[in-house]
Structure 1
Amino acid sequence: MTSTDPTDSTSTQRDYDIVVYGATGFVGRLTAAYLAEHAPANTKVALAGRSLTRLEAVRKSLPASAAQWPLVEADANDIDSLRALAVSTRVVITTVGPYAKYGLPLTTVCAESGTDYVDLTGEVLFARKSIDANHEIARRTGARIIHSCGFDSIPSDIGVHVLYSAVTDAGAGELTDTTLVVSAMRGGVSGGTIDSLRTQIDEVKKDGKLRRLAARPYSLSPDRSLEPDLGRQSDVVLVNGKDIAPGVRGWKAPFVMASYNTRVVRRSNALREWAYGKEFRYREVMSVGSSIASPVFAGAVSAGLGALVVGMTVLPKKILDRVLPKPGEGPSPKAQDSGHFTMDLYTTTTSGAHYRSRVKATGDPGYKATSVMLGESALALVHNRSELPDAAGVLTPATGIGDALVTRLRDAGFEIWAKKA
C-alpha cells in the first residue's frame, strides 16, 4: 500500500488528520477502535462528541495506542463548535444520525472549510439536501464530501467500480444490464439504523414532493434531465436468475438497501459523465436459494419488506419502541464476529461479453465490517492523496476515493475482484 506524509503540500496544516465525531455511539466506538488498531502510527486522531466525560470513557476502553488521543467537544446544534471541529482536521468521520436531523450543518462547514468528510448514511433525502447545499461549495474549496462509506454503499459502488475497470481494461465496451446479487449475508440491526429509517418515513409521510423525490431512480444524480431514458426502473423486483447472467440459478428477492444503493451507483455513473455507459441499468436483489421453491421464498421476502415499511408507517411510535432496538444499541461482539456478506455483480457489455465482480468480507455487515470500510475510507483520504481521483464536491466512494479504497480494503481482508465470466 502506498502511503504519503499526512502533512504533505497537498493539504493545509491541521491539528488532526482524522476526527471521529460521534465516538460515543455504537458504530463510532467501533470505528475508533478500528483506527486505534490499524491506523499508521503517524496518524493524528481525535475523538469528538457532546460529552467530554463520555468521550473519556470511550478512550479508556480503546487500545493503548489511543491513550493520548485528544478529545473535542462538539454538538450538532452548535454550529460554532462544528465549524471549529471542521477547521481543526483534514478528515471528519461522522456517525451521528439520523443524518436528516443532525447531519447537514456539519457537511456544510466541512465543505466551506475544505475539509474532507465521510459518513455512513443511507438516507436519500439527506444526501439530496447535502448535494444541493454543498456540491458547488466543496468543488471551490477542494473538499471531498463522501456519503455512504459503510455497508451503505461501498460494496455496491466499489463492486461496480472494479467491474467497470475490468471491462474498460479489456476494451470490452460499456456496461449495460448490471445486477448485484446478495449471495450470502448474516448480520444484525442497530437502533441507529431503525431510527434513520423512521426519520425518512416520517419525512415522506408529511410531504408528497419528498415522497416522489425519494422514489425516483435518479434522485441523487447531478441533473436528471441529462440522464438517459431507460424506462421504468423499480427497486422492488423479483428476478429469475437466468435473466441476470448465464449460470445464475433460482429466483431472487428484493434487497432492502436497493432503494438507496442504486441511486448512489447511478450518481457515480453521472459524475463520471456516464463512463459506465448510457445504457447502464442497475438493480440489486438477494438470493433465497436455488431450489424449486425459490419463487415462493422470494415472494415471501418481498411481502415481508412491504409489511415492514407499512408497519413503520402506520403503527404508533410507542408500540414500535417496545419491539425495535433503540439508538445506541447493536449486535453483541459475538454476533458481530459471526457476521459476513458476499455481493456478486453481473453485467453484460455492449460487445456482448459477460463480466462478474465480487465484494466479500467477514464481520457483521452494518457494524464490524462498516467500521472497517468507514475507517479505511478516512485513512485513504489522509495517506493516499496521490492515488485519489481528481475530484471535489459531494462525491461517492467510487468517485471520491476509488482505487485507493479498493487497495486498502483488500489489505484489510476484503475479497474484491472482477473478471470475465
Structure 2
Amino acid sequence: MTSSKFDIIVYGATGFTGQLVAEYLTSEYRGDNAPRWAMAGRSLGKLAAVRDAVGAPADTPLIAADSSDGASIRAMVDQTKLVLTTVGPYQLYGADLLAACVATGTDYVDLCGEPVWMRQMIEKHQADAEKSGARILFSCGFDSVPFELGVFFVQEQAKKALGAAAARVKGRVRGMSGSLSGGTAASAKATFDAVANDLSLVSILRDPFALTPGFKGPKQPPGNRTLYEEDLKSWAAPFAMALINTRNVHRSNMLMGFPYGQDFVYDEMVLTGDGEQGQANAKLVMAANAEKTGPNAPKPGEGPSREEREKGYYDLLFVAIGADGRQVRAAIKGKGDPGYASTAKMISECAIGLLHDGGDVKGGFWTPGAALGDRLIARLAGHAGMAFEVEA
C-alpha cells in the first residue's frame, strides 16, 4: 500500500446506497471514534451536495474518481487503506478498481451478488492478493451477511447443544418488509446477460459450489419449487437471493477449514404459512420472484423513502439438524429495509471491522463471516440494529 491518508474511501457516495453509507458513518462514528474517511464519485459538485445532505463535516474530503478512467481509480486507491464500493453491477464497473486494490495491497469491500464475476475475479487475482496483502470481501450487504453469519451462529450453538456442527442447516425467511435494491436487480440482469452471451458460464451459475474452486460437496436441495415442511408447519417457496447466499455459505465453510464438514448441505427458502393459504402464498412468492429483475424492478439510484426504510425489517430462521434428528434453531433479526438501510450499516461495519478487528486476516478473497466471525456479529449487534438469538 503506497499511502494511508484515509482509513476508508466510500466510492459511489452519490448513489442511493452510497449516500446511506455516508450518512451512517457520519451519525454512528464521531470524534475519536471516527475513521478517517472520504467520499468519492464522478462529480465533486454532487459529492458536496451529499456531504451537506447527510450532515457530514464540511471538511470531509471529496475525491473525483470514475470507473471509466483508470488513472483516477488508481489515484483514489493510492490514498486509502480500504475502498468501500457501492458502484455496481460490479462486472460492468468494478474490475479495474478491484485490480488496483489487489496490486497495491489495499483492502476492498463491496455489495457484490454476482457469482460468475466473483468466481472469475477469485481465479484471476487470488494469488496476487495473497502476495500484496489486499483483503477482498465480496457480498457485505443483505446478500449475504445475515445468512452467512446465521449459519455460523447456529452452528456454534449446535456444537454446544449437539456436541458437533450439523451437516444439514436450513435457512428460512420467516418475515421481511422491504424492497430488493436497484443495484441487486441490475446485478442479476447483468449476470443473466453475461451468461446469455457466453453459455460456457451456465455451469458456474448453476453450481452451488461455484465459489469453492477445487472443492465439490454433496448434492444440494434444488430450492426451485414449493414444498411443505412438517417440522416447521409451513409451506416454503424459493428465495430469490438463495442463488448467491448459498454459494457464499459454502465458500465460508471452505475458507474456515470445513468446520461444518465436507458433506454440509444448506438451502434457503421463504416460509409462507400453514394450510391452503400458506400453499397459495407460496405460489404468489414464486410469481413475485419472476418480477424482481423484470421491467418493474427498481433502478440503480432509486430507493424507498426514509419512512419506508425505517419501517423495514427482516426475521431469518436457521435450523441446524443433527445426525440424530435433533434440532437447534436460531434467529437473525434486523431493523430497517434490508436492501438499503440495513445493507448500508452492514457494509460499513464490515469495513470498520476489517480495519480494527481483522489484524489476523491475511491477503486474499474472503467472505465477511470467514474473515471476522464473532467479531462481526458483535459489531452488527452493537451498532447496526441486528439481533442474534437462540430459539427453543
TM-score normalised according to structure 2 size: 0.93
Change (3 A) 1:148 1:99: same
Partner of 2:206: 215
What does residue 387 of structure 2 align with? 415
* Distance of 2:305 and 2:208 partners within structure 1: 35
What residue is the counterpart of 1:231 in the other structure?
219
Q: CA deviation at 1:302?
A: 2.1
Are 1:50 and 2:42 an aligned pair? yes
Aligned residues: 389
Percentage of identical aligned residues? 37
8 Å CA contact retained: 2:248, 2:367: yes
C-alpha contact 1:45 1:70 (8 A) present in aligned 2:
yes
Q: CA–CA distance in 2 between the matches of 1:351 and 1:67?
A: 60
Shift in CA distance, 52/285, structure 1 to aligned 2, threshold 3 Å:
same
CA distance in 1, matches of 2:236, 2:51: 44
**Could you say which residue in structure 2 is the equivalent of 1:59?**
51
**Aligned residue for 2:256?**
272
User: Residue 144 of structure 1 is aligned with which of 112, 131, 135?
Assistant: 135
DSSP-derived class of the 2:339 partner: coil
| 1:330 to partner: Cα distance | 0.8
| Residues 7-44 of structure 1 deviation map (CA, whole Å, 9 limit, x = unaligned) | xxxx9860001100000000000000000111253410
Letter in 1 for 2:17: V
Q: How does 1:354-373 map to 2 (within 5 A)?
A: 354-373=327-346
SS in 1 for 2:167: strand
Residues 315 and 331, structure 2, Cα contact 8 Å, conserved in 1? yes
Please give the alpha-carbon distance, in whole angstroms, between the structure 2 residues aligned to 1:235 and 1:80: 44
How far did residue 191 of structure 1 move? 3.0
Other-structure match for 2:348: 375
Runs of at least 5 residues in structure 1 that lack an aligned partner in the other structure: 1-10, 313-319
User: Partner of 2:171: helix, strand, or coil?
Assistant: strand
Give the distance between the partners of 2:347 and 2:111, measured in 1 at CA. Answer: 7
In structure 2, C-alpha distance between the alignment counterparts of 1:17 and 1:98, rounded to whole Å: 24
Could you tell me how far apart the structure 1 residues matched to 2:137 and 2:5 are?
A: 21
- How far 1:118 moved relative to its partner? 0.8
- Provide the C-alpha distance between the structure 2 equivalents of 1:369 and 1:232, rounded to a whole number of angstroms: 29
**Who is 2:194 aligned against?**
203
Alpha-carbon distance in 1 for matches of 2:141, 2:219? 30
The amino acid of 1:367's aligned partner reads: Y
TM superposition outliers: structure 1 runs of 4+ over 6 Å: none
Is 2:21 aligned against 1:41?
Answer: no
- CA distance in structure 2 between the aligned counterparts of 1:205 and 1:23, rounded to whole angstroms: 31
How far is 1:324 from its partner?
4.0
Find the counterpart in structure 2 of residue 14 from structure 1.
4
Q: Residue 113 of structure 1 is aligned with which of 104, 113, 130?
A: 104
Report the AA paired with residue 253 of structure 1: A
Q: Distance in 2 between matches of 1:170 and 1:26?
A: 43
The equivalences for 1:314-333 within 5 A come to 320=295, 323-333=296-306
Q: Any conservation in 1 of the 2:162–2:322 contact (CA below 8 Å)?
A: no
Q: Could you tell me whether the CA contact under 8 Å between 1:39 and 1:379 is conserved in 2? A: no
* Code of the aligned partner of 1:200: T
Describe the SS at the equivalent of 1:175.
Answer: coil
Partner SS, residue 76 of structure 1: coil
Residues in 2 aligned to 1:169 and 1:80: alpha-carbon distance in whole angstroms: 52
Letter in 2 for 1:278: Q
8 Å CA contact 1:174–1:350 kept in 2: the answer is no
- Name the CA distance, whole Å, in 2 between partners of 1:418 and 1:277: 22
Deviates more, 1:370-379 or 1:200-209: 200-209
Matches of 2:343 and 2:327, distance apart in 1: 30
Structure 2 CA distance for partners of 1:394 and 1:258, relative to 1, 3 Å: same
Q: Residues 312 and 336 of structure 2 are in contact (CA less than 8 Å); yes or no, is this contact kept in structure 1?
A: yes
Aligned partner of residue 367 in structure 1, secondary structure? helix
Q: Is the contact made by 2:358 and 2:371 (CA closer than 8 Å) also made in structure 1? A: no
- 1:352: Cα distance to partner? 4.5
Greater shift, 202-211 or 368-377, is seen at 202-211
One-letter code of the match for 1:414? M
Out of 364, 373, 382, the position equivalent to 1:393 is 364
- Aligned match for 2:315, one of 309, 334, 342: 342
Distance 1:112 1:25 in 2: 26
Q: Deviation per CA, 1:235-278: give whole Å up to 9, x if none.
A: 31423222xxx4x1111111110111000001111112221112
Matching residue of 1:297? 281
Paired position in structure 2 for 1:74: 65
What's 1:308 paired with? 291
Contact 2:18 2:86 in 1 (8 A): yes
In the alignment, which of 387, 391, 405 is matched to residue 376 of structure 2? 405
Whether the 8 Å CA contact 1:112–1:137 is kept in 2: the answer is yes
Gaps of 5+ in 2: none
**Counterpart Cα distance in 2 of 1:201 and 1:362:** 31
8 A contact 1:161–1:398 mirrored in 2: yes
Which amino acid counterpart does residue 118 of structure 1 have in structure 2? V
CA distance in structure 1 between the aligned counterparts of 2:88 and 2:260, rounded to whole angstroms: 32
Question: Which amino acid counterpart does residue 48 of structure 1 have in structure 2?
Answer: A
Deviates more, 1:21-30 or 1:106-115: 106-115
Secondary structure, counterpart of 1:145 in structure 2:
strand
> Structure 1 residues 383, 273: CA separation in 2 closer, same or farther (over 3 Å shift)?
closer
